[in-house]
Structure 1
Amino acid sequence: MTEPQRARAVFSTEDFQLLRTAVAHYAREIGELPESSKYAHLLHRLGRVR
């Protein structure tokens, strides 16, 4: 039997910094819209990725 291939990372560490910056900008742009809390939570989760 062959062993399954190891999963490769889709995003680099630098990519997460770019995503955090983009999401933070968008969250500021949409301000108080109902979905803004979802972007705030996403930004928090992205901040935990190292």
Structure 2
Amino acid sequence: MKSKVKKALIRFGPLFVFLALEMGIFTSNAAACFGFYQPKEPERMAKYKK
């Protein structure tokens, strides 16, 4: 079981990294859905804002 998971992570790992970066860029330009909760954004995401 561990070897299958490890092989899957090695195979699809770059895809997960790419999707996480794209989602971070998308959400850095969007506001929160609810006005009472706006999470803190990391400083390094500021360079991706438009």
TM-score bracket relative to the smaller structure: 0.3 to 0.5
Q: What TM-score, normalized by structure 1, do the two folds share?
A: 0.40
Structure with more helix by fraction: 2
TM-score by length of 2: 0.40
